[in-house]
Amino acid sequence: MDNSCGVCKTEVNSGGERVKAGNSVFHAKCFVCKECKNELESFIRGKDGGLICDECDIKLNARKCFKCQLPIQSTIVTARGKSFHNDCFCCASCEKIIKGGFFFVEGEFYCSTCDTKPSNKPTQPPSIENTPPSPKLPGKSGVSLANGVEIQVPNNATNIIYVLNSNEGSNNLTSSGSDGGGGSATNSGSSFMIHKRNNSNELNVISPTITTTVDLVTSSTTTTPTLSPSTLSPHVSTNRFSNDYLITLQEDMYAKQQQQLLQLQQQQIQIQQQLQQQQLEILQKNQSLLNSTPSTTQPQSLNTSQPNINQQLSNLNISSSQKNEEIEKYIPKINGKTLTELLKHQTFDDILGEVLSKKISIYKELSKDDVTFGDVIAAGASGKVYKGIYKGRDVAIKVYSSENFCFNIEEFDREVTIMSLIDSDHPNFTRFYGANKQNKKYLFHVSELVKSGSLRDLLLDKEKPLVYFTQISIASDIANAMKHLHSIGVIHRDLKSLNVLITEDYTAKVIDFGTSRNVDLAKQMTLNLGTSCYMSPELFKGNGYDETCDVYAFGIVLWEIIARKEPYENVNSWSIPVMVSKGERPTIPADCPSEYSKLIKACWTDKPKKRPSFKEICEVLKKMSESLTLKRNKK
Ligand SMILES: Nc1ncnc2c1ncn2[C@@H]1O[C@H](COP(=O)(O)OP(=O)(O)OP(=O)(O)O)[C@@H](O)[C@H]1O
C-alpha cells in the first residue's frame, strides 16, 4: 500500500495516528470533512480531491426544494423547472399536497380542485406563438418518482403543462416538454392518445392498455375551449389548440380508432347479414322438407349455420383439406357380417359383449406413423385429446395413457368398438378413422376433428349470437344422435354439454359415449363430480337404470341451451344429489317458450317411465322448428 496520506500526500509514519479507508491511508488529522472539519465516518471525494462528509455533500450539492430551501434527498418533484420535496409541492390555496395536475398562476402552484377560483387570480395570457408544433420534440430528462413514473415539465413552458398521474407507474408513461412550451405525450415504444375532457382541464391519455388522466394546466384564464367529450369525438383541436402537437397526436390516434370502430361496425353488419341469410336458407330448407314425403332415413338435421368472421378466416386457412387423401369408408364386420345384418338377430349389447370378450378387433388398426400429433386440445379423465393430421385430414387423437387415473383398456375397447359400429356417415357423430393398441400403455383412437369446440363453450360465450331456431336445431341434432344410439341399444351414460361438439355450421355431434366407468356409480360420484349435474335421481338412489337416464341428462342439456349457463353453477357438487333426489332442478328462465319448457320438464321428471323417448323428443323438436318456420313465413 502507498504510504502517503490520501489528502496531504506526505508520508504517514507507522508510529503516528493514522486511518485506513479503502485502499488509502490518512493522517488522523487529515481525515476530516473539508467543510465542517468534523471527523469522518464515511466520505465522498470532491472534485478537488478533498474529503467531504455526507451531510455537507447534501448541503452543498443536493437539489434544493423551491419551497423550504432544504436539500432534497428522496423523491424530487419538478414542476415549471422548480424542484420540490414531495410534501412541499402543495397547493397555494388549500395547502394540500398536489397529486396529479396543477395550475401555475403568478408564481404559485394550485391544485386542480382549487382551480375553481382562477378568475380571482390574474394569470398570464396564453402565448401560443412560442409553441412550435413538432411531434418529435426531444423530451427533457425526467425526474423519477419512487413509483417509477417520470414527471417532466418544460422549463419555460408558457402554454400547456401537464402531469401524468403518478399512480400509473406501471405503464411507464412519460410526458415530455418542449422549451418552447406546450407538451407532448409519448408512451415509450407504443403511442397513446390524448384528448380533452369536455369543459374540464383534464386530458385523457388512452393507451392500448389503460386510460389515465392527465391534468392539463393552462397559463390562461381565458375560457377553456369547449372540447368534444371524452368519447373520442373528432375535432378536439379547436382554434386554440390547433397548433399544439398534443392535438396532432390525438388526431392521428383518433383517425386510427375511428377506422377500427368502422371496421368493427362493418364486421357486425356482415355477421347480421350472414345470420339473416342462414335463417332464410334454413326456412327454405324446412319448407321443402315439409312439402316432401317423410324420409325413412335419419331425420334431416335442422342445423343452422352462423359462421362468423373468424370462422371464415379460419376456413381460408384450411390448406390441409386441399391436399386431403381420400379416406375410404371403413365398414367393420364381425364374423363376416356388418352391424346392420347382426342387429337383425342380436342386440347391440350381445354383439358388443362378443366383440369385447373374444377380443375381436373390429376397428381399423392405424399405425403410429399414419398420424401426426399436434397440440393438446383437452385433458380428460382417461387421457389427453390432441389435434393431429391423418391422411392430410385434421383429426382428433384421443390418447388413453396408463399414467391417467381413469386408464382402463376395457373402456378404450368399448369406446372404439361403439365408434366403429356407429354409421360413420351419421351427421351427429364424429367420423371414426381407426385406433392403435400396439403399446398397451399408450392407446389412441382417431376421429374427425371438430375445431370450434364444445356446446358448453358455445353456450358460455355470450358474444356468440344464438337464436331460438338454432337452439332448437342443436337440441334436435343431439336428440337425433341419441335416438340412433338407443336404436342400436347403446346407453350413452355421460351425455353433457361438454360431450357435444359444435361444428362451424352449428351441427351438434355427440362424443365420448359408452364409457363404462359410469356404471360404477360410487366411482362416478367421487371421481367425476362434474357429471353429477346430469345424473338422474334413480342413479343417486342406486336403483337400476335404463336408457331413460340419457333422457334426463338431455333435459339438463336442453336447459343449458336455453339458459346459456352451467347447471347448478353456484351449488356445491356434493349438494346436487340431495337436491335432485328432492325434486329440485335448475330454474327455467322466465322467457323460455312454454313448449320448450314443457319438453325440459318432461325429460327431467323423477319418473323414468314418464320420460319421453328420443324418438318422441325428435318429433316434438321437429314440430317446434316447423311451427317457427311457418310463423316466419306468415310474416
Ligand atoms: N373429435 C374431437 N374434436 C374436437 N375436440 C374433441 C374431439 N374429441 C374430444 N374433444 C375434446 O376433448 C375433450 C375430452 O374428450 P372426451 O370427452 O372424449 O375425453 P374424456 O377423457 O372422456 O373426458 P371426460 O371424462 O372429461 O368426459 C372434449 O370435451 C372436447 O373438448
pLDDT, tens only, 395-416? 999 998 877 766 777 778 888 8
Q: Is the CB of 398 under 6 A from ligand 1?
A: yes
For the CA of 496, the closest atom of ligand 1 is 27
For the CA of 512, the closest atom of ligand 1 is 18
Grid coordinates representing 481?
A: 344422435
As beta bridge partners, residue 18 has: 27
- Answer whether residue 540 shows pLDDT above 70: yes
- Answer whether residue 190 shows pLDDT above 60: no
Q: What is the pLDDT of residue 155?
A: 33
- Answer whether residue 225 shows pLDDT above 60: no
Q: What is the pLDDT of residue 616?
A: 97
Q: Is the CB of 446 under 6 A from ligand 1?
A: no
HEC secondary structure over 176-215: EECCCCCEEEEECCCCCEEEECCCCCEEEEECCCCEEEEE
Its pTM surpasses 0.95: no
* Spacing, Cα 481 to ligand 1 middle (Å): 16
pLDDT band at 163 (very low <50, low <70, confident <90, very high): very low
Q: Going by CA atoms, what residue is nearest to atom 8 of ligand 1?
A: 396
- In this prediction, residues 171-184 reach a mean pLDDT of 32
Angle between helix 614-634 and helix 468-487 axes, rounded to 10 deg: 150
Quick one: 170 exposed, middle or buried, by C-beta within 10 A (0-12, 13-18, 19+)?
Answer: exposed
Q: Is the CB of 364 under 6 A from ligand 1?
A: no
Q: Going by CA atoms, what residue is nearest to atom 9 of ligand 1?
A: 385
Q: Is the CB of 352 under 6 A from ligand 1?
A: no
Tell which residue, 305, 481, 318, 331, has the closest CA to residue 389: 318
- Answer whether residue 60 shows pLDDT above 90: no
Name residues whose C-beta falls within 8 Å of residue 26's C-beta, 6 or more positions apart in sequence. 5, 6, 7, 12, 18, 19, 20
Residue with the bigger pLDDT between 353 and 204: it is 353
Residue with the bigger pLDDT between 338 and 369: it is 369
pLDDT band at 100 (very low <50, low <70, confident <90, very high): low
Q: What is the pLDDT of residue 124?
A: 34
- Of 376, 384, 433, 511, the one to substitute when testing ligand 1's pocket (max ligand atoms within 8 A of C-beta) is 511
* Spacing, Cα 365 to ligand 1 middle (Å): 21
Q: Is the CB of 374 under 6 A from ligand 1?
A: no
**H/E run at residue 510:** strand 508-510
Name which of 66-80, 190-204, 344-358 the model is least confident about.
Answer: 190-204
Q: What dihedral do alpha carbons 452, 454, 456, 459 form, nearest 10°?
A: 30
**Spatial contact of 48 and 54, defined as CB atoms under 8 Å apart:** no
252 is catalytic: no
Angle between helix 548-563 and helix 594-603 axes, rounded to 10 deg: 150
* Spacing, Cα 397 to ligand 1 middle (Å): 10
Q: Which of 182-186, 239-243, 254-258, 277-281 has the highest mean pLDDT?
A: 277-281
Q: Which of 244, 413, 477, 494 is catalytic?
A: 494
DSSP 235: -
- Answer whether residue 291 shows pLDDT above 70: no
- Answer whether residue 437 shows pLDDT above 80: yes
Distance between CA atoms of residues 140 and 179, nearest Å: 9
pLDDT band at 284 (very low <50, low <70, confident <90, very high): low
Q: What is the pLDDT of residue 419?
A: 86
- Of 371, 377, 452, 494, the one to substitute when testing ligand 1's pocket (max ligand atoms within 8 A of C-beta) is 377
Residue with the bigger pLDDT between 66 and 435: it is 435
- In this prediction, residues 220-241 reach a mean pLDDT of 28
Q: Going by CA atoms, what residue is nearest to atom 27 of ligand 1?
A: 380
Q: What is the pLDDT of residue 207?
A: 36
How does the average pLDDT of the chain come out, rounded? 68
State whether ipTM is beyond 0.90: yes
pLDDT band at 480 (very low <50, low <70, confident <90, very high): very high
